[in-house]
Amino acid sequence: MSKTIQAVRGMNDILPAESALWESFEDTIRAWLHGYGYTQIRTPIVESTDLFVRSIGEVTDIVEKEMYSFEDRLNGERLTMRPEGTASCVRAVVEHNLLYNAPQRLWYMGPMFRHERPQKGRYRQFHQVGVEALGYDGPDMDAEHIIMTARLWKLLGLQDVALEINTLGSADARSRYRQRLIAYFEQHAELLDEDAKRRLYSNPLRILDSKNPALQAMIEAAPKLMDDLDDASRVHFDSLQSILKDAGIAYRINTRLVRGLDYYNATVFEWVTTRLGAQGTVCAGGRYDSLIEQIGGKPAPACGYAMGVERLLALMQEGGYEPPALPVDAYLVHAGDAASKLAPQLAERLRDAGLSVVLHCGGGSFKSQMKKADASGANLAIIIGDDEAAAGEASIKPLRGAGEQKRVSLSNLPEVLSA
């Protein structure tokens, strides 16, 4: 026997036993997004590598070390499996000129790819639900995004997810802050680790995000961007906070929240839980007002966020969530030539009437078929043997709970079962 082939490390199969949870989550997501007037966009999984380098930023974890990039063997194009959805969404919006006469509220859901060290809540293929609002510049839209996620947590029955917000200000404010940060970190050069040294001049804001315990005290005392903030961003941030207060949404300002992607400005936020260990961020986003222009579109402001589906599902399960059971209505048992000829047609007629029916395939005795019917989880068995076929009837046997077996004429069967 040849050696078995296994899935790629960090890329998971979602097996039948788990798919009910995924489907129930996806149903909730669709209804929730419809409730806010968002429509879905579906973009390809593979894009030009340049798209991500230009949008996410050269000196970020994702572009430096996490992307699945390859060269197209036929034409040498540099391609990448998408590590996130915003860049693709903006690319599609620009390419198809969707902002021509109206702003857009869009969402997407699907697999993303990052070459990270696999661990609980961190995979190489994982799934995101993303939401983007393009062409909106006010804090009312930032607030809509935060308020709608708060509703989603309720719909999913999640507890212990806390909101952290920050503002990264305008590009000018950030570049003033950058200089101040570099000067500060230079004063503490002897404390910096390898990562921090590498980022000191290329992306010093990311040092704030370091998890290295040895750096924490020094980072804690670093200058704050708030002190360099431009007036427009300050007004924007204040009014976001006042909308959140009016909506009764609790939050904490975290001045170290800088996000791992370069395209953000002004508002950034994360929803974090303490229930999932180190991988505690379940949702993250913010404003990216210059990304559309950066990708070649006519300048337009935008904001959005993405959620990690695996982390949300883990949190739902941790809270004891059980997806609704969806048993099929009937398992159709048949033996004998006449009955077996009749069975597929009968199954189709029942499905015409809106019933879900598993047609027994593969032959076998009544006894073995009944065992399969029991194991299928169906609500009842429909049985046709030679007797029934000759009489134009079927027997109905409840498989769960009480109720007697009875015979019904085939012509009445759809009505009887629907009732």
Q: Which residue has the tokens 């620009």?
A: 94
CA distance 360 to 331: 7
Give long-range contacts, CB 8 A cutoff, 24+ apart: 54-58.
54/294, 54/295, 55/86, 55/87, 55/90, 55/261, 55/262, 55/263, 55/291, 55/294, 55/295, 56/83, 56/84, 56/87, 56/261, 56/262, 56/263, 57/203, 57/261, 57/262, 57/263, 58/202
Contact of 366 with 413, CB cutoff 8 Å: no
Q: Binding marks (x or -) toward ligand ATP, 293..312, rule CB under 6 A?
A: -------------x-x-xx-
The correct pick among 281, 303, 358, 396 for binding ligand ATP (CB under 6 A) is: 281
CA geometry: angle 281, 122, 115, nearest 5 deg = 125
Beta bridge partners of 287: 265, 303
Site membership for ligand ATP, residue 170 (CB under 6 A): no
Site membership for ligand ATP, residue 262 (CB under 6 A): no
Site membership for ligand ATP, residue 254 (CB under 6 A): no
CA distance 32 to 40: 12
Smallest gap from Cβ 206 to ligand ATP, in A, equals 11
Site membership for ligand ATP, residue 174 (CB under 6 A): no
Site membership for ligand ATP, residue 110 (CB under 6 A): no
Smallest gap from Cβ 123 to ligand ATP, in A, equals 4
Determine the 3-state secondary structure of 86 from DSSP. Answer: helix
Judged by CB under 6 A, the stretch of 144-152, 176-184, 232-240, 277-285 that binds ligand ATP is 277-285
Helices (H) and strands (E) in the chain, counts: 15, 16
Smallest gap from Cβ 180 to ligand ATP, in A, equals 24
Site membership for ligand ATP, residue 212 (CB under 6 A): no
Task: Please identify, using beta-carbon distances, which residue of 115 and 372 lies nearer to ligand ATP.
Answer: 115
Smallest gap from Cβ 350 to ligand ATP, in A, equals 42
Alpha helices by DSSP H, listed for 156-290, are 171-187, 194-199, 216-220, 231-246
Judged by CB under 6 A, the stretch of 68-76, 114-122, 139-147, 246-254 that binds ligand ATP is 114-122
Task: Please identify, using beta-carbon distances, which residue of 56 and 300 lies nearer to ligand ATP.
Answer: 56
Give long-range contacts, CB 8 A cutoff, 24+ apart: 6-10.
8/124, 8/125, 9/118, 9/124, 10/116, 10/118, 10/123, 10/124, 10/125
Smallest gap from Cβ 289 to ligand ATP, in A, equals 18
Task: Please identify, using beta-carbon distances, which residue of 219 and 282 lies nearer to ligand ATP.
Answer: 282
CA distance 331 to 369: 9
| Cα 314 from chain centre | 12
Judged by CB under 6 A, the stretch of 115-123, 227-235, 294-302, 390-398 that binds ligand ATP is 115-123
Phi, then psi, of 335 in degrees rounded to 5: -145, 145
Smallest gap from Cβ 131 to ligand ATP, in A, equals 11
Task: Please identify, using beta-carbon distances, which residue of 82 and 360 lies nearer to ligand ATP.
Answer: 82
Determine the 3-state secondary structure of 321 from DSSP. Answer: coil
Smallest gap from Cβ 72 to ligand ATP, in A, equals 25
CA distance 179 to 172: 11
Residues between 31 and 90 with contacts to ligand ATP, criterion CB under 6 A: 84
Measured from each CB, the residue nearest to ligand ATP is 308
Task: Please identify, using beta-carbon distances, which residue of 108 and 331 lies nearer to ligand ATP.
Answer: 108
Site membership for ligand ATP, residue 128 (CB under 6 A): yes
Binding site for ligand ATP (CB under 6 A): 84, 114, 116, 121-123, 126, 128, 260, 279, 281-284, 306, 308, 310-311
